[in-house]
């Protein structure tokens, strides 16, 4: 059975992530939500050497942000599992 919170996370539109992260009040979470939203935007706009459409000017920046977000999620999950 899926917990209600897990279901909400799965179906929440990306346009509400900032609001929810703000309500939670976790500054680190808010930072990673912003990075994840930048990556989401990159998915549609791709690289932009002039930074007019996309926040990313190189694949290396994209790669770095993906790694940071994945590591953040991994660490949070490990902590959650340890607390269970």
**For residue 65, what pLDDT is reported?**
98
- At 28, list the tokens: 């680190």
List the chain residues with pLDDT less than 50. none
Say what the pLDDT of residue 15 is: 85
Work out the angle between the directed axes of helices 27-45 and 17-24 (0-180°, nearest 10).
Answer: 170
Q: Residue 31 sits in which domain range?
A: 4-83
Which residues, other chains included, contact 61 with Cβ-Cβ below 8 Å and sequence gap of 6+? Answer: none
The number of folded domains in the chain is 1
Q: Got the DSSP string for 20-71? A: HHHHHT-HHHHHHHHHHHHHHHHHHH---TTSSS-S-SSHHHHHHHHHHHHH
pLDDT at 1: 57
């Amino acid at each position: 059975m899926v917990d209600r919170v897990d279901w909400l996370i799965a179906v929440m539109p990306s346009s509400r992530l900032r609001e929810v992260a703000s309500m939670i009040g976790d500054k680190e979470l808010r930072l990673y939500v912003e990075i994840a939203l930048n990556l989401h935007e990159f998915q549609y706009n791709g690289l932009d050497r002039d930074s007019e459409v996309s926040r990313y000017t190189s694949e290396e920046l994209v790669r770095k942000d993906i790694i940071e977000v994945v590591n953040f999620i991994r660490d949070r999950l490990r902590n959650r599992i340890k607390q269970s």
